[in-house]
């Protein structure tokens, strides 16, 4: 049976795979996400394609260390009317993100790429549309008082599975992609590979 490596330090991605009963090892990789993202934005790549490319960079990097394993790279991109957001640098930056998302509908694209034998063997991108309530500056401050620094690693400065749920009026699409991994598609691939128990 193949061995699965999750090329991510994301706690929620680990929890999703663990809760789904998947045996895996976590082996975070370092890539220059900002430089890659900025280059792809400059080349006018779509948000979906940017998520896919970043996931592939991570899977490929992990495959260098684990060449005989399946390496799963994943990434999530937030886009508002075509503009791609980066993770907030600090609390002030998080407040700016939330002010821009306030009263708007944005998209999340969560990509997953699996490498085996130094090449990509499977990929998918899940998506969701999220409509945020109109928030006052005071509401944003109160929210960040409670949610920071937990949301510092979240592209939208929120965790929709936690306190961030209060920010939204509607979420359409793949819930697992909101969390950062298109889990059902990943599980379907692992089932095809004989890596699921049931």
Parallel, antiparallel, or unpaired: how do β-strands 25-26 and 4-6 relate?
A: parallel
Please tell me the distance from the alpha carbon of residue 56 to that of residue 73, in angstroms, as a whole number. 6
Which candidate in 32, 34, 43, 75 is catalytic?
Answer: 75
**Quick one: which H or E segment has residue 15?**
helix 11-19
Rounded Cα distance between 4 and 6, Å, is: 7
Tell me the β-bridge partners of 124: 112
Our answer to whether residue 90 is catalytic in this structure is no
How many other C-beta atoms are found inside a 10 Å radius of the C-beta of residue 127?
20
Nearest to 132 by CA among 85, 92, 90, 91: 85
Which residues are the active-site residues? 75
């Amino acid at each position: 049976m193949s061995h699965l490596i999750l090329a991510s330090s994301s706690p929620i991605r680990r929890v999703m795979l663990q809760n789904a009963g998947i045996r895996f090892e976590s082996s975070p990789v370092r890539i220059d996400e900002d430089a890659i993202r900025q280059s792809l934005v400059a080349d006018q790549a779509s948000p979906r394609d940017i998520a896919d490319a970043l996931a592939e960079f991570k899977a490929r990097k992990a495959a260098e260390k684990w060449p005989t394993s399946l390496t799963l790279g994943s990434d999530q991109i937030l886009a508002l009317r075509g503009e791609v957001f980066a993770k907030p640098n600090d609390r002030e930056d998080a407040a700016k993100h939330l002010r821009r998302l306030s009263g708007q509908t944005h998209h999340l694209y969560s990509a997953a790429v699996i490498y085996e034998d130094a090449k990509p063997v499977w990929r998918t991108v899940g998506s969701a549309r999220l409509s945020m309530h109109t928030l006052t500056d005071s509401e944003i401050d109160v929210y960040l008082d409670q949610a920071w620094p937990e949301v510092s690693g979240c592209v939208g400065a929120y965790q929709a599975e936690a306190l961030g749920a209060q920010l939204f009026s509607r979420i359409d699409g793949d819930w697992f992609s909101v969390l950062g991994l298109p889990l059902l598609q990943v599980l379907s691939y692992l089932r095809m590979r004989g890596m699921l128990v049931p």
